[in-house]
Amino acid sequence: MTSVGRATWLCFSLCLVVVLLPCEGRNSQSLHVRLPHGGWLIGRHLTTHNGQPMRAFMGVPYAEPPLGELRFRPPVAASAWQGERLAVKDAPICLQRDPFRRDTLIEGSEDCLYLNVYTPGSRSRINASLPVMVWFHGGGWQCGSGISSFYGPDFLLDHDIVLVSANFRLGPLGFLSTETLDCPGNNGLKDQVEVLRWVRSNIEAFGGDPGSVTVFGESAGGASVTYHMLSPKSRGLLHRGIAQSGTYFNPWAQPAHKGVAAGRAEKLAKLVGCGGGDSSWEEKLKCLRQRPADDIVASLYDMFVWDFDPMIPFPPVIEPDHEGAFLTVPPRQALQPHGLELPLMIGATAEEGLLKTAALLNLPQLMAEFKSQFGQVLPVVLNYDHHDEGVQRRITQRIESFYFKQGHDYSKANHQNLTDLISDGWFVAGIDEYMRLRLNQPQDAVVAPTYVYLFDHKGAASFSEIFKGERNEFYGACHAEELQYLFPIGRELFVSAVPTPQDLQLRQLMLQLWVSFARTGNPNPTNASFSLPTWRPAYSYPVEYARLGTKMDAEDAEEAASLLRLESSLMQQRVDFWSELQAHLPATSRAHNEL
């Protein structure tokens, strides 16, 4: 090659590099987002389950690390930064121990207040800002996370939305309370408020609409949704709610009567060597802030009375009245919370109680203790052991006569009454009470539509496996069962399960229902890929609701194809029992929002 030829080739090569550089994935401008404070985030490219491009911005700080002096204090908004910040991987989960899996492992980090944002990869066909869906995970406010390996965007981002998932402090690090201004409590819920404030301030930069925010969650995440529809601190930060298997009326989610939270804080301080003598709360908290976080989280298991009950030793609390308080009034005293004005989708699974009974049915020693100590254990399990012994006995007798008319039978083949008891006591009764709050308002009250569902599906895999059930036995639609149809949880939890055709159809249906509700406040899709009956909101009792899924075998094609059926009188006899039981409790207990 001549010198002229070499020069020509070099010139062509340089021009080619200049042309190609803007197309290189690492430098794609679509993955650069500038936040209002001036700093930049650099995200990553991912694809959805169906191969659609999406942008992911992961490990984004929304609050300062709650370390040292910030431990046991409300969140402090994250500081601004200059220049670029890489946001391409999950942050650590919040420090935790998982009693639902009966784990001894302590995992996570105290530096965990981060969120993930997922958006469609191409905006060329979208002219308006997208609805935003903010996910708060379950786990009893003591375990779980918002990371992508569990609550990833793979399914939801096949639709045009912006998805936000977040970590928040858990267990004693998130919910310890002295019931004084020294440490009022509810810091995990205040973390969630900080997430919603971050969304309001920043989501427009990602193509999201800050005026169209749907908060959704399951179990404690569902109860969190209802708390945000109650607390004045959250007013205006959300516009719709989806409460899956949880409300603040569930006994595990209710603030305990006065003195319980402070007593548990005192016990924790002693367990980690911070409770000596007549030291003040100020001194105890100073000591607790210096103790290893692992030691504090480990103490969670010392709070249980029998097995892993009471289910949540550190629930939300009623705070002393102060400027930063999230909750100062028992929920039953807040007769018209601002959330009445917001559309709500709310529901449960058909056998929620398998969260507990799966272990009872498969751990013989645990069942033997439960049977032999039924009168002492049931008040602890169902959170009414704070009553005097006479009241406890009367409640237990009424429960026995209602659920075990033919005597106790705890066999796997005949577990339904026991599972129904736990389902109702832990979940269904509290969900029903929240629906009654919305549906029994005065005629002049402004109440947005309430859409009710019951998830009742037999899939290829069941969460009862996670809670110590047998892998190849189907007990019913377990607590958390619906999550695998909204998120790609199955790839982590159920690696040997192959989804059935009905599973795939149900996933497609549920995604359309959830996304449609997030867009409009109405779950009925305008462009459904199914022929669906119209799901109407509930306005009165008996409650109209949608039953999602089928328990028929796959070969029964005609029945299995009907994955949304409209019904009424949701577990009416059972919820009436609990409503009547609640009404006959001592007035002081009702005032304190307890079973």
Q: Is the dihedral of CA 425, 431, 432, 433 positive or negative?
A: positive
| Per-residue pLDDT tens listing for the chain (595 residues) | 444 444 444 443 433 333 333 334 445 888 999 999 999 999 999 999 999 999 999 999 999 999 999 999 999 999 999 999 999 999 999 999 999 888 789 999 999 999 999 999 975 445 679 999 999 999 999 999 999 988 999 999 999 999 999 999 999 999 999 999 999 999 999 999 999 999 999 999 999 999 999 999 999 999 999 999 999 999 999 999 999 999 999 999 999 889 999 999 999 999 999 987 789 999 999 999 999 999 999 999 999 999 999 999 999 999 999 999 999 999 999 888 999 999 999 999 999 999 999 999 999 999 999 999 999 999 999 999 989 999 999 999 999 999 998 777 777 877 899 999 999 999 999 999 999 999 999 988 999 999 999 999 999 999 999 998 888 889 999 999 999 999 999 888 998 899 999 999 999 999 999 999 999 999 999 876 678 899 999 999 999 999 999 998 755 545 445 899 999 988 999 999 999 998 877 655 544 445 6
The DSSP annotation for 394-432 comes to HHHHHHHHHH-TT-----GGG-HHHHHHHHIIIIIHHHH
Residue type, 17: V
For 349-581, CATH gives 3.40.50.1820
Rounded alpha-carbon distances, angstroms, from residue 303 to 100, 260, 369, 381, 533: 15, 11, 19, 13, 48
* Fold exhibited by the domain 29-342: Rossmann fold (3.40.50)
Annotated domain spans of the chain: 29-342, 349-581
The verdict on whether 201 is a catalytic residue reads no
Bridge partners of 564, per DSSP, are 548
Q: Distance between the two ends of the chain, CA-based, in angstroms? A: 90
Bridge partners of 44, per DSSP, are 56
Of the residues 194, 352, 481, 544, which is catalytic?
352
Q: At what angle do helices 389-403 and 572-583 cross, to 10 degrees?
A: 160
pLDDT tens profile 109-151: 999 999 999 999 975 445 679 999 999 999 999 999 999 988 9
Measured distance CA(456)–CA(445) in Å, rounded: 33
Pull the structure tokens for residue 266: 């005192």
- Confidence (pTM): 0.93
Of the residues 145, 148, 219, 234, which is catalytic?
219
Q: Is 185 in contact with 175 (CB distance < 8 Å)?
A: yes
Measured distance CA(47)–CA(474) in Å, rounded: 33
Q: How far is CA 128 from the centre of its chain?
A: 29
pLDDT tens profile 486-513: 999 988 899 889 999 999 999 999 999 9
Q: Which helix (H) or strand (E) holds 383?
A: none
Measured distance CA(121)–CA(47) in Å, rounded: 8
Rounded alpha-carbon distances, angstroms, from residue 331 to 162, 327, 334, 372: 31, 9, 5, 36
The verdict on whether 579 is a catalytic residue reads no
Pull the structure tokens for residue 22: 């803007």
| Residue tagged 């690696």 (tokens) | 495
Q: Which helix (H) or strand (E) holds 63?
A: none
Q: Identify the three-state secondary structure at position 130.
A: strand
Measured distance CA(576)–CA(426) in Å, rounded: 15
How many CB atoms lie under 10 A from the CB of residue 472?
6
Burial of residue 305 (CB within 10 Å: 0-12, 13-18, 19+) is middle
> Do the domains at 29-342 and 349-581 have one common CATH topology?
yes
| Residue tagged 């936000």 (tokens) | 164
Longest dimension (CA), the chain: 105
Q: Is 225 in contact with 250 (CB distance < 8 Å)?
A: no
Closest by alpha carbon to 144, among 72, 202, 208, 224?
Answer: 224
Measured distance CA(137)–CA(169) in Å, rounded: 12
Q: Is 550 in contact with 559 (CB distance < 8 Å)?
A: yes
